[in-house]
Structure 1
Amino acid sequence: MSEQAMSPRRPYLLRAMYEWLVDNQLTPHLVVNASVTGCQLPWEFVKNGQIVLNVSPTAVAQLQMHNEFVDFNARFSGKPHHVVAPMAAVMALYARENGAGTLFEEEAYYSEERDISLTDDEPTATGAPPAVEPEADNSNKQSSKSKRKTSHLKVVK
């Protein structure tokens, strides 16, 4: 069977590596390319076009590793998020403790534009982070800092 007729290796290797890391009591971290179309991510944590996500069983809920995408629910800074990462966006899976894991190679299957369909009725994000006006964001931070210049705690002896 030719390689083009075969299904991609990435989802199978991802599931196997994840299971191996968890079985060895390690903390799996997923590296995602945030610029791939179809990503639903907490955009405020994306750095240099990538995000590293702790996908340990204690950090996420309802983790599903499908052949076309990975999705789960998690909290970021106390806010709940539904995260979706197309398999084309998954770059690596490694253990936080010792770096054991794998970096996924490019596959021709993912170089083609593919349409992922979610199992529920949630819309797919465009893959681009939402536009944020930096001026408005900075003024909110400055006003909250000016309101609370002194500590609200008192020393009791």
Structure 2
Amino acid sequence: MSANQDTESTSTRPYLIRAIHEWCCDNGYTPHITVLVDRSVQVPLEYVKDGEIVLNVGLTATTGLQLGNDYISFKARFSGAVRDIMVPVDQVTAVFARENRQGMAFPQISKSAPAPETDPPKPAAGARPALKRIK
């Protein structure tokens, strides 16, 4: 048994993002990511639409691009102004080529897991069913 089998594996998402990004660049496509925006995301909010933003992460559109395991960070121009971008990898919902939309979509990761369902409370002993007849 290897050491990694005893612990939780890391997410495949950052590796897949890097792979699709590299594939786009190798084939002359422009890689983009779709990001679900919340307080953990540092993007120009004026470009957010319906809680999401699409970002060009091509090498010619970014400076200092870092596709890390936890965060994607870079500088980019928006209407001529340089902005710092910081995106947690878990907030990336898709990575794709602009030209043909080929790529990969990811499920949204819930920050707080829903509470496990519990059995409904049992009726008091001797209680009768509370059904009504509707005509």
Q: Return the TM-score normalized by structure 2.
A: 0.75
Contact 2:91 2:108 in 1 (8 A): no
2:20 equivalent to 1:17: yes
Counterpart of 1:97 in structure 2 is: 99
Aligned to 1:144: none
**Aligned ranges 1:71-110 → 2 under 5 Å:** 71-106=73-108
Aligned-residue offset at 1:100: 0.7
TM-score, normalization by structure 1 = 0.65
| Higher-Rg member (1/2) | 2
Among 58, 65, 68, the alignment partner of 1:66 is 68
* In 2: Cα distance, 1:10 partner to 1:25 partner: 23
Query: 2 CA distance for matches of 1:74 and 1:25?
Result: 20
Work out the CA distance in 1 between the residues paired with 2:83 and 2:63. 10
**TM superposition outliers: structure 1 runs of 4+ over 4 Å:** none
Distance in 1, Cα, partners of 2:75 & 2:14: 19
Higher helix share: 1
Q: How many residues align?
A: 109
User: How far apart, in 2, do the equivalents of 1:55 and 1:6 lie?
Assistant: 27
Residue from 41, 48, 51 that aligns with 1:49: 51
User: What is the CA–CA distance in structure 2 between the aligned matches of 1:19 and 1:112, rounded to whole Å?
Assistant: 32
